[in-house]
Chain A
């Protein structure tokens, strides 16, 4: 039964992605001026014949609905066009940079959860204590802080002043990492390269903190409030009355039910992490999708911008799907 429901939800992403593609297409065509003119104007002198050929390649000589059809047909086949700035297919470029972005997002999520879960639980158990008040003030700060500014502060403190951690990039090239999957931390473990592991982890720390701080703050706030709520429930009182150890009451009985709203927030945060990583990748020169997108924007490389936006949307939609599926495991009463 669950399998069918999951499949149903999975199928529901198809019209959404279709809509996303149409919207992206329309935006691209709404751009003032001829995309080829704009792109080639940036690139310098180009022969008129070459521009004509580009227009053909872009199907700009066809009517709009034919263009849309061709664009969608290509997209379904996994062909997102050709990047002019990089002279490579867009899908290839995205596939190269995606692991870096996912690695950073996972790092940030991990940081966020490691910080937020203990703080959320502790603050709820010791409600209105000094720890609680300080944590919640900190969470407020975290929610309000722009990620790019936090990133700059971290660089200033930990790289410029203390010289503990590197400023930019993903790894020292002297570490001699043999790339297998594109996830550098994983690759260093797979190839047994300790130097590379240390180097890649060191590079990952600051961007993850900059990106994950907002997530940590949000999750801590929501977890605290839902824990406070569930600690008041009858089943918690019953568990205590039965003589269940307090740690067990908190961690098993209360936490399990407090997790439902928390998972929702984590799901929303996936979107925030994806969006924020465009900024954080820029701050730390992290060679991921976000930086690729920003570069593509400035070189007016529209097929690349288009492709990256679609990949982001797809990731976001799939992440939300994953959260919905996760729900059914946490609370079997919820059906998709």
Chain B
């Protein structure tokens, strides 16, 4: 005789999870629609991302090649031509094309450094908060130590010792960047661990790793996302500051910070060279921060600043 047993198809838990995600995402988008300022911020960030991806299609000129005969031309509203509508720099390079290409550096460095910081920080924070003991002691003391350096000074020092370049830049930003995520994840883990669902998961015999990854992590994901968004703005400003000092991505690759710095010599005659790339930074960071605060109101109302 054959026993009939209703078995759940293998894809069912996956489908269920996808459906929960879809519902959550839909709910989030609805909340976002009710938060016009945050929505605007998010859209501006998306525009910047699109600008970075399609930079070669958007930029009308080569960002690294200039026409020396047309150096320091003003923007179109200040008497310049449509050819170079935001004007040109001291080497006759199109400022608009350079700003468009510059978004690649800022966004790439921002996203990658935040992603690495978040992954490393959350992972270590979860482990330290879950297992405590020597690991927690060592990591917490080390993070205290890193906090003794002001952020920018730390990044400057790392760049100074290691030399310029993309890898070193990311290293400089993440070497200390993980600490905020570590502290957040550790704290959240400490409080989540005392909750019943974790005790239940332990009781049904789930392994430690599985409890961390599939039980606790989804619960602290919102806070991590909010922190990541707010850190993104900080990272972008830090990258710009480093490149302003000449410690970031090296010329001729256009980066906003170094563009502002290059324009300083022409401040008295050609204000646009220095100010316009800075405006690009301001708008992006403002949009990120507005979006981040909106995200916090929606996802993590506990942290709301009234």
Answer yes or no: do A and B interact.
Answer: yes
A298 and B267 in contact, given A16-B144, A152-B260, A316-B148 (Cβ under 8 angstroms) = no
**Interface size class of chain B, counting residues whose CB lies under 8 Å from the partner chain:** 35 or more
A312 an interface residue at 8 Å Cβ cutoff?
A: yes
Interface membership of A309, Cβ < 8 A: yes
Count of residues in A whose CB is under 8 Å from the partner chain: 52
Q: How far is the CA of A279 from the CA of B286 in the complex (A)?
A: 20
How far apart sit A272 and B150, CA to CA, in the bound complex (Å)? Answer: 7
Asked if A116 lies at the interface with its beta carbon under 8 angstroms from chain B, I say no
Q: How far is the CA of A32 from the CA of B160 in the complex (A)?
A: 11
Give 1 or 0 for each of A10-47: 1 = CB within 8 Å of chain B CB. Answer: 00000011011001100110111000000000000000
What chain A residues lie within 8 Å of B257 (beta carbons)?
146, 148
* Set A145, A152, A229, A293: member contacting B274, Cβ < 8 A: A152
Q: A153 within 8 Å of B by Cβ?
A: yes
Selected contact of B306 from candidates A149, A155, A228, CB within 8 Å: A228
Instruction: Write out the residue numbers on chain A whose beta carbons fall within 8 Å of the beta carbon of B305.
Output: 221-222, 225
Per-residue 0/1 for B281-306: is the Cβ within 8 Å of any A Cβ (1 yes, 0 no)?
11001101110000000000000011
* A313 within 8 A of partner (CB): yes
Alpha-carbon gap, A32 to B282, bound state (A)? 35
Q: Is A51 an interface residue (CB 8 A)?
A: no
Does A104 interact with chain B (Cβ within 8 Å)? no
Bitwise, B144-155 to A at CB < 8 A (1) or not (0) is 110011111100
Give the residue name and chain of the A residue nearest to B142 (CB). Answer: A19
Q: Which residues of A contact B289 (CB under 8 A)?
A: 140, 143-144
A301-322: contact bitstring with B at CB < 8 Å (1 yes, 0 no)? 0100100010011001100000
Contacts of B144 in A (CB 8 A): 16
Report the Cα distance A221→B305, complex, angstroms: 8
A32 surroundings in chain B (CB, below 8 A):
162-163
Question: In whole angstroms, how far apart are the Cα atoms of A195 and B7 in the complex?
Answer: 90
B241 within 8 A of A: yes
Q: How far is the CB of A332 from chain B (nearest CB, A)?
A: 26
Docked-complex contact B157 and A309, CB < 8 angstroms: yes
| B92 surroundings in chain A (CB, below 8 A) | none
* Interface status of B77 (Cβ within 8 A of chain A): no
Give chain B residues whose Cβ lies under 8 Å from the Cβ of A272: 150-151
User: With A221-B305, A282-B245, A316-B150 in contact, is A20–B145 under 8 Å at CB?
Assistant: yes
- B161 with A279: CB separation less than 8 A: no
Q: Is A160 an interface residue (CB 8 A)?
A: yes
Could you say which residues of chain B place their CB within 8 Å of the CB of A155? 267
- With A20-B145, A229-B306, A316-B148 as known contacts, state yes or no: A149 contacts B282, CB within 8 Å: yes
Docked CA distance A309–B152 (Å): 11
**A312/B153 in contact, CB under 8 A:** yes
Cβ of B187 < 8 Å from any Cβ of A? no
CB-based contact B162/A309 at 8 Å: no
A278 within 8 A of B: yes
Tell me the complex Cα distance, A140–B157, Å: 29
A145 with B282: CB separation less than 8 A: yes
* Of B145, B264, B281, B288, the contact of A146 (CB 8 Å cutoff): B281
Question: A156, B237: Cβ atoms under 8 Å?
Answer: no
Whose C-beta in chain B lies nearest to the C-beta of A274? B150
Contact with A along B258-290 (1 / 0, CB 8 A): 001101100110010011001101100110111
The answer to whether B278 and A146 have CB atoms under 8 Å apart is: yes
* Contact B149 A312, beta carbon cutoff 8 Å: yes
Contact A305 B149 (CB under 8 A): no
Contact B241 A146 (CB under 8 A): yes
B78 CB → nearest A CB, Å: 14
CB < 8 Å neighbour of B162 from A30, A275, A302 = A30
Q: Given the complex, which residues of B lie within 8 Å of A316, measured CB to CB?
A: 148-150
* New contact pairs (19) apart from A30-B161, A313-B153, CB-CB < 8 Å: A27-B161, A31-B162, A146-B240, A146-B241, A146-B244, A146-B281, A149-B279, A149-B282, A152-B263, A156-B271, A156-B274, A160-B271, A221-B305, A225-B306, A274-B150, A275-B156, A278-B153, A302-B161, A316-B148
- 24 A-B pairs in the complex with CB atoms less than 8 angstroms apart: A16-B144, A19-B148, A28-B161, A32-B162, A140-B290, A148-B241, A148-B257, A149-B275, A156-B274, A225-B306, A272-B150, A274-B150, A275-B151, A275-B156, A278-B152, A278-B245, A279-B241, A294-B156, A297-B247, A298-B246, A312-B153, A313-B153, A316-B149, A317-B148
Closest 7 CB pairs of A and B: A275-B152, A149-B278, A275-B150, A271-B150, A297-B160, A19-B145, A144-B286
